[in-house]
Amino acid sequence: MKSMLRSLSRLCMAAPVLTALFLSDAAGQIASPGTDELSRRADVVVVGKVNSVVSEWNRSRTRIVTRVTLAVDQYVKGSSAGGSMTLVVPGGEVEGVGEWYSHTPQFKENEDVLVFAQKDSHGTLSVTAGSRGKISLQMDEHTGRRVLPNGLPLERLMHQIREAGAH
């Protein structure tokens, strides 16, 4: 019984340390050196809201792709003539047939996002580095501003992206 209480006591003492390590690691994953690499690889980085998500067969009906249209609120890197942008993401569901790929970002209508995108040789935009190139944003209830899932202000990440693009 005493050894069980000692073990429980050690676990309780270690819990705050483990929690802090976990939270700092989660924050580091979003605003890590990987952000610099994503920023350099992306042709365009935008903050916006998902307007539509439409899946369709390719011309030869061998693959499904999803077209994601964003209402762009802000260009962090790059620019465009319009206030909207369309991304093509592999996979989706059409006529009851689903095709999904690991590490491919998923989008939902009305979702606030930050997206790193790159153009192919035809000018089609896709998400840079799969799911790493899309960050879902949340609203901070106290400030009314967009924040990352770990609570960091969006402005902080946008500053990091701009700095990486300047190098």
Q: Are 113 and 126 spatial neighbours (Cβ–Cβ below 8 Å)?
A: no
pLDDT tens digits along 131-159: 999 999 999 999 999 999 999 999 999 99
Closest to 83 (Cα-Cα) out of 95, 96, 92, 74: 74
pLDDT category of residue 167 using cuts at 50, 70 and 90: low
pLDDT tens digits along 61-104: 999 999 999 999 999 999 776 799 999 999 999 999 999 999 99
Q: Which CATH architecture has domain 33-166?
A: Beta Barrel (2.40)
Give the tokens for residue 73: 């609120």
Give the number of other CB atoms < 10 A from CB of residue 91: 17
pLDDT (mean) for 22-50:
72
Taking the model in full, what pTM does it have? Answer: 0.78
pLDDT tens digits along 94-125: 999 999 999 999 999 999 999 999 999 999 99
pLDDT category of residue 164 using cuts at 50, 70 and 90: confident
Give the number of other CB atoms < 10 A from CB of residue 122: 6
**Domain range list for the chain:** 1-30, 33-166
Q: Are 62 and 51 spatial neighbours (Cβ–Cβ below 8 Å)?
A: no
First to last CA, the chain: 61
Q: Is the confidence at residue 22, as pLDDT, over 80?
A: no
CA distance 33 to 78: 20
DSSP 8-class letter at 103: T
